[in-house]
Amino acid sequence: MKSGRQETVPIGNSADVVLARQKVRQWAIEMKFTLVDQTKLVTAASELARNALEHGKGGQMIIEQVENSAKNGLKLVFEDRGPGIKDVEAALRDGFTTGGGMGLGLGGSKRLVNDFEIQSEAGKGTRVTVVRWK
Amino acid sequence: MERIPILRMGQFLLVTIQVDMHDRLAVQLQDDLTQRISEWSSRGVLIDISTLEIVDSFIGRMLANIAAMARVLDAETVVVGMQPAVAITLVELGMSLAGVRTALNVESGMELLYELRGDFHSEMSE
Amino acid sequence: MSKLPELIKKHEEEIRADWLKQLSTATRRSDLISDEEIKTQSRELLAAIADGVKTGEVRNLDGPEWAPAREVLNAVSTSRAKQGFTPSETATFVLSLKQPVFSVLRKQLASTPDVMFDEVWRATLLLDKLALLTVDSFLQTREQLIRRQQEELMELSTPVVKLWDGILALPIIGTLDSARTQVVMESLLQAVVQTNSKVAIIDITGVPTVDTLVAQHLLKTITAARLMGADCIISGVRPQIAQTIVHLGIDLANVITKAKLSDAFALALQRTNQTVVKVNAEGARKPFFKKEE
- Is residue B38 in a domain? yes
Specify the amino acid at residue A56: G
Please tell me if residue B50 touches chain C, with a CB cutoff of 8 Å.
no
Secondary structure of residue C166 in the 3-state scheme: coil
Buried/exposed C95-130: b ≥16 CB within 10 Å, e otherwise: bbbbebbbebbeebbeeeeeebebbbebbeebbeeb
Q: pLDDT digits over C42-59, tens only?
A: 888 888 888 888 877 777
Residue C74 scores a pLDDT above 90: no
Rounded Cα gap, residues B116 and B94, in angstroms: 28
Rounded Cα gap, residues C257 and A80, in angstroms: 48
Domain count, chain A: 1
Phi, psi of C138 (to 5 degrees): -60, -50
Buried/exposed C232-247: b ≥16 CB within 10 Å, e otherwise: bbbbbbeeebeebbee
Look up the ipTM and state it.
0.88
- Single out the residue of B88, B85, B110 nearest to residue B14, CA to CA: B110
Residue C157 scores a pLDDT above 80: no
A99: containing domain: 2-133
> Smallest CA–CA separation between A41 and chain B, in Å?
9
Domain of A69, CATH number, reads 3.30.565.10
Residue A104 scores a pLDDT above 60: no
Which whole number is the average pLDDT over C259-273?
93
- Is residue B1 in a domain? no
- Is residue B41 in a domain? yes
| C223: closest chain A residue by CA | A96
- Is residue B90 in a domain? yes
The domains of chain C, with CATH numbers, are 4-151 (1.10.490), 161-287 (3.30.750.24)
Other Cβ atoms closer than 10 A to B86 = 27
Report the neighbours of A using a cutoff of 3 or more CB pairs below 8 angstroms.
B, C
Other Cβ atoms closer than 10 A to B57 = 24
Q: Where are the alpha helices (DSSP H) in chain C?
A: 4-10, 12-25, 35-53, 67-83, 87-95, 98-108, 113-156, 178-195, 212-227, 239-247, 261-271, 281-284
Which whole number is the average pLDDT over C180-206?
93
**For residue A72, what are the β-bridge partners?**
A67
Residue C144 scores a pLDDT above 90: no
Residue C38 scores a pLDDT above 90: no
> Smallest CA–CA separation between B25 and chain A, in Å?
10
Domain count, chain B: 1
Rounded Cα gap, residues B83 and B32, in angstroms: 25
Residue C283 scores a pLDDT above 70: no
Mean pLDDT, chain C, whole residue set: 85
Domain of B113, CATH number, reads 3.30.750.24
Secondary structure of residue C84 in the 3-state scheme: coil
> Smallest CA–CA separation between B106 and chain A, in Å?
23
B14: containing domain: 6-125
Please tell me if residue C112 touches chain B, with a CB cutoff of 8 Å.
no
